[in-house]
Structure 1
Amino acid sequence: MHVRKLTALDAENYLKLCETIDEESEFMLFEPGERKLQAQRQIKQIQSGVCEVFVCAADDGSLVGYVAAVRGQVQRTRHRAHIIIGIRQTYIGQGIGVKLFQALEKWACEENELTVMTHHTAAVRLYKKMGFIIEGTKKHALKVKGQYVDEYVMSKLINE
């Protein structure tokens, strides 16, 4: 298992990974079948540098997880990033999340923020392990399977 930066050559496999994770997990933003990105559009996003993405590749070369950091687009928010992480269900609990966050921190320089469903205890545990703290709760932030779900807003200052 190794972690590396996503390249334009990975675009199609990355999209398949995201679709698979959307199918496997109720904790992702997209519902199964809702993701409408195409490989060409994903290539442009990867090359633009707006979103720094790292992926974890299995020994056979298949993608099994990712972490993405999307920087703020205006001067006042460029110092922070919104973080998204997804890991294939069969690979959870194998230290991949820690490796992805470690790779992300090498890239990061300031404040990072993420949100997580409050009942996703494994993810909350990982984020706390990586030094993130809960700053607040967004009530009824998402609607999953017809039920409202709360989210924690968590952040970590890198350069304290």
Structure 2
Amino acid sequence: MLEPTPSTGPLSAEAHLVISQAVPEDGAALLSLQHRLDRQSSFMLLEPGERPSSVEEIRGRLAAQSSAGSFDLIASLPRQHVGPVGWVSVEVAPYRRAAHVGHLVLGVDAACTGQGVGRRLLKAALDECRRRRLRRVELTVMVDNLRAVQLYLQCGFVVEGLRRTSLIRDGGSVDEYAMAQLVLSSGSESAVVDK
């Protein structure tokens, strides 16, 4: 089980970032953050109003997460009493042939971008993936989301392909990069070193 980890760094001195595994009791705050992210950023998959709004549904999903498969982490600033400011989800398929792969989604509140929250969430998620013995973490990112692409590259992800016209945003086609990182060595592969 992931223990809450206080972090220091680019955030202001009074800000004390804590990253922890989301539990059912976090459901309402997490859903509120997800809705806020959908409104703030055109880089999220879901547009405002498309995300389900059932707190019970998200609590049920969090309760069903085990110590070996999918998980959600939240980043909070408890001293500022603002609720979660970032979130990362790693979904693992329940099938034996794919149970070693996690699909990652990351979002950070616009008020906290550029302050290290996304990097710390991503590092915590990759550490948790290793602890859970996942071998591969993959994601998709819109090619014009330059800040996210740069973060993923700096943290050891590689571009494996281009998904042309994979999304429609504001009436226009958007390409996505398919990116991945091998996080746990298997046979002749080597584990990625944190950067």
Using the size of structure 1 for normalisation, the TM-score is: 0.96
Whole-angstrom distance in 2 between the partners of 1:33 and 1:64: 20
Whole-angstrom distance in 2 between the partners of 1:8 and 1:60: 22
1:75 aligns with 2:91: no
> Structure 1 residue 95: deviation in Å?
0.5
User: Which residue matches 2:148?
Assistant: 123
- The structure in which a higher percent of residues are strand is 1
2:164 corresponds, among 139, 142, 147, to: 139
User: Which residue matches 1:12?
Assistant: 28
User: Which residue matches 1:56?
Assistant: 75
> Structure 1 residue 60: deviation in Å?
2.2
Q: Percent identity?
A: 29
Matched AA of 1:95: G
2:128 corresponds, among 107, 111, 119, to: 107
Whole-angstrom distance in 2 between the partners of 1:51 and 1:148: 30
Moved more, 55-64 or 72-81: 55-64
Please tell me whether Structure 1 or Structure 2 has the larger radius of gyration of its CA atoms. 2
Q: Please report the RMSD computed on the Cα atoms of aligned residues, expressed in angstroms.
A: 1.0
Whole-angstrom distance in 2 between the partners of 1:7 and 1:96: 20
Matched AA of 1:101: L
Deviations 1:97-135 (A, max 9, x none): 111011112211310000000010000000011100000
User: Which residue matches 1:28?
Assistant: 44
Q: Which structure 2 residue ranges, 5 or more long, are not aligned? A: 1-16, 185-189, 191-195
Matched AA of 1:40: E
Matched AA of 2:52: K
Matched AA of 1:42: I
Higher relative contact order (CA 8 A, sep 6+): 1
Are the aligned partners of 1:45 and 1:51 in contact in 2 as well (CA < 8 Å)? no
User: Which residue matches 2:63?
Assistant: 47
Whole-angstrom distance in 2 between the partners of 1:74 and 1:14: 27
Whole-angstrom distance in 2 between the partners of 1:126 and 1:25: 17
- Number of equivalenced pairs: 160
Matched AA of 2:124: A
Matched AA of 1:74: Y
SS of 1:108's equivalent in the other structure is helix
User: Which residue matches 2:14?
Assistant: none
